[in-house]
Chain A
Amino acid sequence: MFALYRKLIAASIRSQMQYKMNFVTSAATTGMIMVLDFIILSAILYRFNDVVGWNIYEVGMLYGISSASVSLYRLFAPEINDFEKYIVHGELDQLLIRPVSPLLLLMTRNLDLSRVGGLVQGVSVLVISLSGLAAEGKSIVGLVLFSPIAILSGGVIYFSIGLATAGVAFWTQQMKDMLTFTIYAPANASNYPIGLYPNWLKWLFFSALPIAYMNYLPMLTLLGKGGEWFYPLLTPVAAANAFYFSRMLWNVGIRHYHSTGS
C-alpha cells in the first residue's frame, strides 16, 4: 500500500513538473499572499498591543499553527478541496474502478506543491513567536514539543472538514460556496483567540467545525491562560474523531454518486 502511495505521489509530482513555470509562479504567489496576511495581522497587533489579553507572540502561536495546518491540508488534499469537478464531470468514475480506496487515489492526485510556501510561512511565524515568548522569560519546551502535534492534528481536522463538505456535495452537486463557510472562514477565524467570538460561533468551532481543538484550546493550557491540564490531549483526539465522522459521511455520500451521462 505504501509502495503504491509513493508511486502515485511521484507520478503526481512528475506530471506537475511538466508545467514548471506554472508551479514556480503559484508557489511564489501563495507564499507572498500569506506573508502579506501576517504583516497586516502584526500591524493591527502593534497598534492595539493585544487581542482580548493575548499578546502578539501568543496570537502568533495560534496563527502559525492554523496557517501551517491549512497549508498541510491544501498540500496533500487539493483534490478534496476541488472535489466538485469529480461529481459534476463524473471524474470519480475512474477512481471507483480501481482496487484501492478512492480516497487514497484522490490524495495522490495533483499534489499542490505550491502550498509548501504556506507551510514554511506558518512554521516561520511559529519560530518567531516561540523566540519572542522565550525572550519574555516563558518556558517554551511544552510549546515546541506540542507544535508538530498541533499542526498534524490541525491538518487532519481541516482535511476532515473538507472531506465532509465533499461528502455533502454528493447531494448538492456543488461545494465551492460551502467551502467558504466550512474551510476558509474557520481558517481565518482560528488565527485569533476563539474567545473573541459570540457564543454561537464558539459553539460551532467546538463541534461541527472543530478548529478550536487545533490551537485555541491547547494554548489556553500551554500559555497559562487558565486551561485544564488535559486540554492539549484533546487535540489529537478531536482530529481522530473528526476524521472518523467525516469518513462515515463520505462513505454514505459515495453511495449516492450519480456520475454523468455516457
Chain B
Amino acid sequence: MIEAKHIEKSFFLTKAKEGSFASLRTLFSRERREVKAVHDISFSIDRGEFVGYIGPNGAGKSTTIKMLAGILHPSHGEIRIGGYSPQRERIQVASQIGVVFGQRTQLWWDLPVRDSFEILQAMYKVDDKAYRRSMEAYQELLDLHEFLDTPVRKLSLGQRMRADLAAALLHDPPVLFLDEPTIGLDVVAKTRIRAFLKEVNQSQKKTILLTTHDMDDIEQLCNRIIVINHGKKMMDTSLADLRHQIGLPSLIRIEFRQPPEKLYELEGIERMELSENVLSIYFDKGKISSPRILAEVAGWGEPLDIQMKEPGIEEIIRLIYR
C-alpha cells in the first residue's frame, strides 16, 4: 500500500539577510548549508497495518510524512502510494489518503464544522449517498453532532481533532497519515481518539501511519514501529519483537535511610542511578533475578522502601534514541 525506496530529502538553508532589500540579497546569496532531514529511508507497509513512525524531535518524521503525502519532493528515491507516485500523480494520491496534522487544522477556521464537510464533499467528489453514510458513521463514533454547527475557531482542541479526523476520512481513503494526532489532548480525549483509530483500522482495514511522542499511542495502537533518528532508519519491527530484542530492562527502586557509600557492579545490571538516597537499578531479567539484587543491595545500606517496575515502551525508545 505504501512503498518508500531509498528516499532522501536535503534542504539547502540559505542564511536570510537582514536590512533593506533583504529578499533580493538573500536570492543572490551564496551562503548555503545542506541539511539532510531524511537520509536513505526505505520501508513497505501493507494494507491494514497500523504503523508507528517515531523518533525524537527533528528526526525527520514530519518530513517523511510530507513526502508520502505529496507535499514535499524527495531529493532522491521513489515513493508509491497504492501504486501512484505522490510527486508525479499528486491528485490521484490525494484522493487515496487522509491527512491529519495535530498542530494545524485542515478545516475552514471561521465557518461551522458542517460547512467544511460540505466543501470537502465537493472537493473529493463524494456522492451524496456515500457522504451521508460517512457522516452517520463518524457522528456516532466521534459525537460530531455536539459541535457540527459551531465555527471551527470556537472548538476545544479535542473537538477540533475529532472534526479533523472525520474530515480526513470523509472521502473514505484507504490510507491515513496522522502527524501527532494526540498532541496536547487530555487523557479522556486521547482515549477517545485512540478507540476511534483502532476501530477504523480494524473494521475498515485502513492503513495507518502515525507519528507521535506519546508511547501509549504506540503501545495501544500500533502493531509495527519504525524508529528513525537523525534522518536514518534505526529500527523497523513489530512491537513484540522490539520488547524481545531490546531485552526490556526492569527497574527496582530502593529508598535508603542514608545514601549508600559505594555501589558495586553486578553481572546483568545495565545501569544504576542514585539521586539523594533513592537508588534506581535497571537490569536484565534474563541475566539476574530480582531477589538476587535485593539480597545484594541490602548490604549497601538500610532500605526503607522498595518499588519494582516493568518499564514500558518509553524506556525502550530511550535506549534506541541514545
Restricting to A66-99, which residues have a CB under 8 Å from any CB of B?
Answer: 92-94, 96-99
Residues of A close to B61: CB separation below 8 A: 262
B198 at the binding interface (Cβ < 8 Å): no
Q: Is the CB of A18 within 8 A of B151?
A: yes
Task: Name the residue of chain B whose CB is nearest to the CB of A19.
Answer: B110
A146 at the binding interface (Cβ < 8 Å): no
CB of B99, distance to nearest CB on chain A (Å)? 5
Please report the C-alpha to C-alpha distance between residue A238 and residue B249 in the assembled complex, in whole angstroms: 71
A259 at the binding interface (Cβ < 8 Å): yes
Please report the C-alpha to C-alpha distance between residue A30 and residue B102 in the assembled complex, in whole angstroms: 38
Residues of A close to B73: CB separation below 8 A: 255-257
A147 at the binding interface (Cβ < 8 Å): no
A61 at the binding interface (Cβ < 8 Å): no
Residue among A3, A171, A175 with most chain B CB within 10 A = A171
Given A99-B91, A172-B23, the answer on whether A257 and B122 have CB atoms closer than 8 Å is no
Residues of B close to A93: CB separation below 8 A: 66, 71, 101, 104
Q: Is the CB of A177 within 8 A of B24?
A: yes
Residue among A16, A18, A94, A97 with most chain B CB within 10 A = A97
Interface residue tally for chain B (C-beta within 8 Å): 45
CB of B299, distance to nearest CB on chain A (Å)? 49
**Which of A6-14, A150-158, A200-208 lies on the face that meets chain B?**
A6-14
CB of A202, distance to nearest CB on chain B (Å)? 22
**Which of B111-119, B227-235, B303-311 lies on the face that meets chain A?**
B111-119
Residues of B close to A258: CB separation below 8 A: 11, 72
Residues of B close to A176: CB separation below 8 A: 23
Please report the C-alpha to C-alpha distance between residue A93 and residue B26 in the assembled complex, in whole angstroms: 23
Task: Name the residue of chain B whose CB is nearest to the CB of A262.
Answer: B62
Could you mark each residue 86-125 of chain A with 1 if its beta carbon is under 8 Å from any beta carbon of chain B, else 0?
0000001110111110000000000000000000000000
Task: Name the residue of chain A whose CB is nearest to the CB of B58.
Answer: A261
Residues of A close to B122: CB separation below 8 A: 3-4, 7
CB of A32, distance to nearest CB on chain B (Å)? 27
Q: Is the CB of A172 within 8 A of B71?
A: no
Task: Name the residue of chain A whose CB is nearest to the CB of B9.
Answer: A258
A15 at the binding interface (Cβ < 8 Å): yes
B70 at the binding interface (Cβ < 8 Å): yes
Residues of A close to B58: CB separation below 8 A: 261
B205 at the binding interface (Cβ < 8 Å): no
B21 at the binding interface (Cβ < 8 Å): yes
Restricting to A159-201, which residues have a CB under 8 Å from any CB of B?
Answer: 168-169, 171-178
Please report the C-alpha to C-alpha distance between residue A92 and residue B123 in the assembled complex, in whole angstroms: 17
CB of B129, distance to nearest CB on chain A (Å)? 18
Please report the C-alpha to C-alpha distance between residue A80 and residue B166 in the assembled complex, in whole angstroms: 30
Q: Is the CB of A262 within 8 A of B115?
A: no
Could you mark each residue 127-167 of chain B with 1 if its beta carbon is under 8 Å from any beta carbon of chain A, else 0?
00000000000000000000000010000000000000000
Q: Which of A7, A92, A178 contacts B119 (CB 8 A)?
A: A7
Residues of A close to B238: CB separation below 8 A: none
Residues of A close to B26: CB separation below 8 A: 172-174
Residues of B close to A4: CB separation below 8 A: 122-123
Could you mark each residue 89-121 of chain B with 1 if its beta carbon is under 8 Å from any beta carbon of chain A, else 0?
011101101010101101011110001001100
CB of A84, distance to nearest CB on chain B (Å)? 9
Task: Name the residue of chain B whose CB is nearest to the CB of A5.
Answer: B122
Given A7-B119, A18-B151, A94-B104, the answer on whether A259 and B71 have CB atoms closer than 8 Å is yes
Please report the C-alpha to C-alpha distance between residue A177 and residue B27 in the assembled complex, in whole angstroms: 12
Q: Is the CB of A99 within 8 A of B72?
A: no
Given A7-B122, A93-B66, the answer on whether A99 and B23 have CB atoms closer than 8 Å is no
B180 at the binding interface (Cβ < 8 Å): yes
User: Could you list 22 examples of A-B contacts with CB < 8 Å?
Assistant: A11-B108, A11-B111, A11-B115, A15-B109, A94-B106, A97-B94, A98-B123, A99-B91, A169-B23, A172-B26, A173-B14, A173-B16, A173-B26, A174-B22, A174-B26, A176-B23, A177-B21, A177-B22, A257-B71, A258-B11, A259-B66, A261-B62
Apart from A7-B119, A97-B97, A172-B27, list 11 A-B contacts with CB within 8 A.
A3-B122, A4-B122, A11-B115, A15-B108, A15-B111, A98-B123, A99-B92, A173-B14, A173-B23, A174-B23, A175-B23
